[in-house]
Structure 1
């Protein structure tokens, strides 16, 4: 115990997120190891899960580093973690400064900086889409002509497919560049401006959440992604099947191990997105944190594996041991409005076949704008379980149809 009586010291969690998305992770982390939270505001619902907390501006890296060093004066800090995309670089720097297991500053930049990731993976011989970095619409057009249509235009450091656009011809490339470049300016400063132009990959998309421990790659579960609102790439749903054969596919796993080695990722949890193409699996991106969209929760419900426990063990530098205790398929479907709107009310269903959860995501008065005027314009989600993906998809369709959205049109001028 440390001098304050905390068993085996504390795990430092930087940032937490919204309760409806992250409480299950905080509960799982606290059940695994005592948690000390760095938070920008006083804890509320988080308090029962915490050994202690520090109020600090988590967006200020130097302030977080100072607070971490001060914490080590009174507590033994055993590891550092975060499941917030915007804080994983700071988290890596804190772990490095304290001499604790972590992704490493270079490894985490291989996740956050999509241009850096493309270069490193290509140099390592890992199949990548053809790509080019561009700073202007004219350069984007030249790159698209070289790569061949259609192309995908995306920001350098955003997540959740924000600002990612499919362009089918020269006229669409200029608009796609504008959308991607403008979207980049709401993100982290080092990744603002410019865009990536990439070959469009045909095929379904999956994501793999895994623990990485000193070069060892330990997959937890595979999610199958459903994308909509083309030419944009809004993620409207996912499902996880405990018996998905890709969880143990040797070709896929060998590629993922090599990819993590190529970017120099040391210790932590990653969420890797992969396209399954006619030429084989191709890495779309590696994210240095647990998946969003409640994907880790789907994985937990489908397999019984606790993603928060895995995240804590990886941050401690310990190899996790995964064993399924559930054997089913679990999926999520997000509700989007038919057009830009102001929400009057959202009423999710209380019962439906296989329904595990249903939540409103937009309060009355919320303005929801569809791409390119806005992103992630979700009003509700439903989570359902089934014996297989087909049954689960049918149950998700039925449950989503039961969500009641009362709205009024929101007329947003289209940018010139």
Structure 2
């Protein structure tokens, strides 16, 4: 019997992404999934042909189980895709093993190590916050004094806003350094926080840079960039520092940055980290008319962003990544004048056991285009800094009216009735 059509190997993603992809691409994808994801999933379980369950922290076992699966089922691989930061290094090693296109392990590590990213960008004369690795609260205080504060403390290998704190005083430096140390101790077995061998400390201090925050996805190939989306972040002061409450898509281009400058910066910033061909995301701040680079990864933006791009542009980023992994020609037909949309993340205001979620009032709101709830009654809600995932209840996509977007976000959040015991 001849081998089946080559599959795209999706390494270590979430259950909702798995259901999205297998619905759009039935029989075309092989998922390599950590058992913990499947245990907590409400979505249907894929067939054994579609999904391999394996402890993704045990890389030798992953290689063994995958090779056995492909041999037994006479499957081939035509591409490797990854949507999650903690799985990118594993995806890079698997791509290398099966001689498939994917950024190198070194490029992935350059992205995952925030200090190394900063140093490489500075070497290439790109704007990024001044930063230093620290090994004590005293180091944090010394950095605060030298830079004149405020400063930001964060894990060197984290992602998003997890365990990231703004320090406005020396007392903050002391308090938040210890909080990060405690948080990292609780996350010793989390693949997102595995230390880098060449780094002697796990915590980074960087100068605080103010300004509007943006995030973008782009395709880099043949030293050219194709922009997929540029979104402006909406942040609420009461949320943990750095938490994006919402993303606005379309009509948010920063006045100080022209298209040519953006494209050149994307090419240079990716190249500085060793990325030659990938679908990437970049977070940056516009400060005094310049792009200040914060974080890059060879994956598209996650959370509500793929849904926002699909609703606003009619583009499926998750499928685009798979086609790109197979070396298919890029076809990206973005609408000329799309109406602005907002992806709003829904968070629980307090901890406890979720009793019910009632979205009927949201469904009656004419602005709302999509409601995606990811929690069921019985879910245990925890809040940052203890847990940055368990307080997320889902997201909505809406078309804003003439009022201020932050005000509309607050209004719509209030329309989700949440009961917690």
SS in 2 for 1:250: helix
Tell me, in whole angstroms, the C-alpha distance in 2 between the residues paired with 1:61 and 1:213: 29
Query: How many angstroms does 1:26 deviate by?
Result: 4.3
Alignment of 1:147-296 (within 5 A): 147-185=147-185, 186=187, 187=190, 188-191=193-196, 194-228=202-236, 229=238, 232-241=241-250, 243-245=251-253, 249-296=259-306
* Aligned match of 2:320: 310
| Larger mean Cα displacement after TM superposition, 371-380 or 97-106 | 371-380
Point out where structure 1 has 5 or more consecutive residues left out of the alignment: 409-416
| Larger mean Cα displacement after TM superposition, 361-370 or 218-227 | 361-370
With the length of structure 1 as denominator, give the TM-score of the two structures: 0.86
SS in 1 for 2:195: helix
Checking the alignment, whether the CA contact within 8 Å between 1:147 and 1:199 is kept in structure 2 is: yes
Checking the alignment, whether the CA contact within 8 Å between 1:334 and 1:378 is kept in structure 2 is: no
The alignment status of 1:84 with 2:84, answered yes or no, reads yes
Which of 361, 364, 384 is the equivalent residue of 2:377? 364
* Aligned match of 2:58: 60
- Deviating beyond 6 angstroms after TM superposition, the runs of 4 or more aligned structure 1 residues are none
Tell me, in whole angstroms, the C-alpha distance in 1 between the residues paired with 2:223 and 2:76: 26
* Aligned match of 1:335: 346
Aligned residues: 400
Query: How many angstroms does 1:236 deviate by?
Result: 1.8
* Aligned match of 1:383: 396
Tell me, in whole angstroms, the C-alpha distance in 2 between the residues paired with 1:360 and 1:287: 26
With the length of structure 2 as denominator, give the TM-score of the two structures: 0.85
Which of 30, 33, 53 is the equivalent residue of 1:39? 33
Tell me, in whole angstroms, the C-alpha distance in 2 between the residues paired with 1:128 and 1:144: 17
Query: How many angstroms does 1:274 deviate by?
Result: 0.7
User: CA separation of 1:62/1:237 partners in 2, compared to 1, >3 Å: closer, same or farther?
Assistant: same
SS in 2 for 1:335: strand
Point out where structure 2 has 5 or more consecutive residues left out of the alignment: none
* Aligned match of 1:24: 20
Checking the alignment, whether the CA contact within 8 Å between 2:230 and 2:253 is kept in structure 1 is: no
SS in 1 for 2:268: helix
User: CA separation of 1:147/1:209 partners in 2, compared to 1, >3 Å: closer, same or farther?
Assistant: same
* Aligned match of 1:75: 75
* Aligned match of 1:414: none
Query: How many angstroms does 1:253 deviate by?
Result: 1.9
Tell me, in whole angstroms, the C-alpha distance in 2 between the residues paired with 1:113 and 1:388: 40
* Aligned match of 1:402: 415
User: CA separation of 1:266/1:318 partners in 2, compared to 1, >3 Å: closer, same or farther?
Assistant: farther
User: CA separation of 1:112/1:223 partners in 2, compared to 1, >3 Å: closer, same or farther?
Assistant: same
Checking the alignment, whether the CA contact within 8 Å between 1:80 and 1:95 is kept in structure 2 is: yes
Checking the alignment, whether the CA contact within 8 Å between 2:70 and 2:76 is kept in structure 1 is: yes
Alignment of 1:319-330 (within 5 A): 319-325=329-335, 327-330=338-341
Tell me, in whole angstroms, the C-alpha distance in 2 between the residues paired with 1:200 and 1:130: 9
Checking the alignment, whether the CA contact within 8 Å between 1:212 and 1:218 is kept in structure 2 is: yes
Query: How many angstroms does 1:330 deviate by?
Result: 2.1
Checking the alignment, whether the CA contact within 8 Å between 1:213 and 1:319 is kept in structure 2 is: no
Tell me, in whole angstroms, the C-alpha distance in 2 between the residues paired with 1:54 and 1:45: 15
| Larger mean Cα displacement after TM superposition, 393-402 or 92-101 | 393-402
| Larger mean Cα displacement after TM superposition, 348-357 or 326-335 | 326-335
